[in-house]
Amino acid sequence: MGYLSSFQQRILECIISLSKECERPVKSNEVASLLKVHPGSVRNAVSTLRILGLVESKKGPFGGYVPTGKALRVYSARDALSTALVTSDGSPSRISSTITVCLTDRSITLEIRDFRNKLFLKKGRKVVVQLGKYIVEGVITDSDRVGRRVVVLVKRIVRARPPIRASSKTKISDLLSLMLEKKAECALVLENKRAVGYVNMRRLLRAIMETWNPDLPVKSIASKLPSSMKALRFLRMGYCHFK
């Protein structure tokens, strides 16, 4: 669920759990009450989930929101990843010679040794680090003076997928459909076969919701290529959340 904000993920998790528990569509005020937020905020988040094909709306007095098969498959895969990373009782689990994982209250903590030898981006205490086939976003909670050992509270784990490539003249709506089909988070924008910018899924959805003009060329909303070599390496792997 890399292209969803943390709030949208909470909304979707709530809809999935309530629909399973109640065996019926879930209403926005039920989700709002459980998460202690305004029902309007829930409806705004659900509009994005519907565009992504993760939630369907059922009309009528017994209507509400239901998760799609796609949403259930995505969360099953995410839970399988968490199970592979941690032991069932939450005790530390060694998954490589340099990484130890611990799960506490649904939060995953990584202790990474030889940290300086890995590809990473750091801004303050926020960090993005490549761990094999996965990219981890999180907050550093502890480290030694030379950075050989770093403890990270994980906020997001995504599978690294190469970005798709699109002409700068491609319509926003067409690129959104292509990225959903390819399950890509990131797209490189090309002119004369040369990358001139990039677009992530979140920016595409925001453009559609704010401008209501999906026929604009994708170049009009593309972000500039990052200037650092490390960030460019992450971009080539499909990671594109630099701001």
Per domain, the residue ranges of the chain are 6-77, 86-159, 164-237
Q: Is the pTM of this model over 0.75?
A: no
> What pLDDT does residue 80 have?
53
The helix/strand/coil state of 133 is: coil
Number of C-beta neighbours around residue 209 at 10 A: 12
Q: What is the DSSP letter of 186?
A: E
Q: Which residues contact 83 (CB under 8 A, 6 or more apart)?
A: none
> What pLDDT does residue 183 have?
79
Q: Length of the chain in residues, anyone?
A: 243
- Give the separation between CA 100 and CA 89, rounded to whole angstroms: 15
- Give the separation between CA 87 and CA 92, rounded to whole angstroms: 7
User: What is the CATH architecture assignment of 6-77?
Assistant: Orthogonal Bundle (1.10)
- Give the separation between CA 157 and CA 31, rounded to whole angstroms: 25
Number of C-beta neighbours around residue 235 at 10 A: 18
Q: Which residues contact 59 (CB under 8 A, 6 or more apart)?
A: none
> What pLDDT does residue 4 have?
65
> What pLDDT does residue 1 have?
43
- Residue 7 tokens, joined: 């709030």
The number of C-alpha atoms within 13 Å of 210 and in the hemisphere containing its C-beta is 7
> What pLDDT does residue 86 have?
45
Q: In the CATH scheme, what is the code of domain 164-237?
A: 3.10.580.10
Contact 153, 131 (CB under 8 A): no
CB < 8 Å & 24+ apart, contacts of 6-12: 6/155, 7/41, 7/45, 8/45, 8/48, 8/49, 10/35, 11/35, 11/42, 11/45, 11/46, 11/49, 12/49, 12/54, 12/55, 12/67, 12/71, 12/75
184 residue type, one letter: A
Local confidence pLDDT in tens for the 243 residues of the chain: 445 666 887 888 888 888 887 888 999 889 988 888 898 888 888 888 887 788 998 888 788 999 888 888 766 655 555 545 444 444 555 545 455 555 554 567 778 888 888 899 999 899 999 887 788 888 998 888 766 788 888 877 777 888 999 999 999 889 988 888 887 889 999 999 899 999 988 888 777 777 667 788 999 989 999 989 999 999 999 888 886
